[in-house]
Amino acid sequence: MSKGGPRWFEARWVARLEQYNGAQTLRDPGSGHSFAVQRLCPGRGKCAVIHPKFARASRTGLCQGVRVATMLVTGATGGIGRALVRLLDGRGYGVIAVGRNAARLAELPGRPLVADLRRPETLAAAVAGIDRLDGLVHCAGFVRLGAVADIPYPVWAEHLTVNLAAPAELTRALLPALRAARGRVVFVNSGAGLRANPHWSAYAASKQGLRALADSLRAEEAGSGVRVSSVFPGRTATAMQRGVRAAEGGEYRESEYLRAETVAAAVLAVLEAPDDAEVTEVVLRPAGAGPATAGPATAGPATAGPATAGPASAGPAT
């Protein structure tokens, strides 16, 4: 939960906010207390930001029925996940931060939830108490490079389990809570989810499967109010990219990659997209990375490769 900053409330959870008419304050006739409204949410028209001073009062019971919009983020201890958890917390959202390392989760804001995505069968029990959820962001990921000739089965299994089966199972378990809140699901994918290059087969297969999962889910939930998006970042300056560059035998040049905070901001924009829009796919590449034809893989930028060498530029099919 936020340790400072404003908190965001959705109108439907604030009993008296339905009467909101643009005034600077709201009065709760039940308690007689007034709430200072700082501004309306830029994304989801029905939200208001209430000054934290009053939000604290509300948590002591002065305003019954107030509920902070809550987002669950996997991979919360990773580069992009950590940036997103901090961004969401700073915006006043309630955050459930999922990771497998309790000590590192404890350094983050939000409510920690320890789970190992190599064991999807444990996930439904882990989230059993969540009955409303405004956003689910799948940010955890695993990558090991290698030629098909060399990748042993356990490495294939870990890619497909952590990057694909676990997000599917977690989504399944949380769908009732997401439907109840007409929530958003965001899959943090990769350039490898759009094209597969040598030595990226297992990761690319898992991420292209993740795109398929998102597409099917979007179509299935069209009538439920749940919105589903895939975000495809290029190379991003995190521990994962350090490992990738080491495996590629290349230099890690942080200034040439996206910042984790930039990717997190894109995910936030998707989460806060107005209700009349469904953001299906967002492709992010480091500025100046060159044309997005078939280049080196993946988690990374498509540099200029021969246009015939591979499919799929960054142009997603919606």
- CB of 236: closest distance to ligand NAP in angstroms? 4
Tokens of 276: 């009349």
7-10 β-sheet, strand order: 7-10, 47-50, 34-40, 25-27
- CB of 287: closest distance to ligand NAP in angstroms? 15
Q: Which residue is nearest to ligand NAP (CB)?
A: 78
Catalytic residue at 93?
no
Spatial separation of the C-alpha atoms in residues 16 and 9, rounded to whole Å: 12
- CB of 164: closest distance to ligand NAP in angstroms? 11
Given the complex with ligand NAP, which of 117 and 268 has the nearer CB atom? 117
- CB of 267: closest distance to ligand NAP in angstroms? 10
User: Helices 201-220 and 166-181: crossing angle, nearest 10°?
Assistant: 30
Question: 238-246 — which CB contacts under 8 Å span 24+ positions?
Answer: 238/78, 238/79, 238/80, 239/78, 239/79, 240/78, 240/79, 240/141, 240/143, 240/299, 241/79, 241/299, 241/300, 243/143, 244/143, 244/145, 244/298, 244/299, 244/300
Contact segment (CB under 6 A) with ligand NAP among 22-30, 231-239, 247-255, 274-282 equals 231-239
Given the complex with ligand NAP, which of 99 and 135 has the nearer CB atom? 99
Residue 236 carries which DSSP code?
B
In one-letter notation, the amino acid at residue 93 is Y
Tokens of 137: 């962001």
Q: Among 102, 101, 76, which residue's Cα sits nearest to residue 89?
A: 76
Options 58, 190, 230, 293; binder of ligand NAP; rule CB under 6 A: 190
| 188 binds ligand NAP per the rule CB under 6 A | yes
Are the C-beta atoms of 192 and 203 separated by less than 8 Å?
yes
| 304 binds ligand NAP per the rule CB under 6 A | no
Contact segment (CB under 6 A) with ligand NAP among 3-11, 62-70, 77-85, 171-179 equals 77-85
Spatial separation of the C-alpha atoms in residues 10 and 45, rounded to whole Å: 9
Total chain residues near ligand NAP (CB under 6 A): 27
Counting every residue, how long is the chain?
318
| 142 binds ligand NAP per the rule CB under 6 A | yes
**What residues numbered 240-269 form the site for ligand NAP, per CB under 6 A?**
240-241
Options 7, 91, 184, 235; binder of ligand NAP; rule CB under 6 A: 235
Given the complex with ligand NAP, which of 256 and 278 has the nearer CB atom? 256
Residue of 20, 203, 252, 257 marked active site: 203
| Binding interface with ligand NAP (CB under 6 A) | 75, 77-81, 99-101, 116-118, 139-142, 162, 188, 190, 233, 235-236, 238-241, 299
Which residues are part of the catalytic machinery? Answer: 203
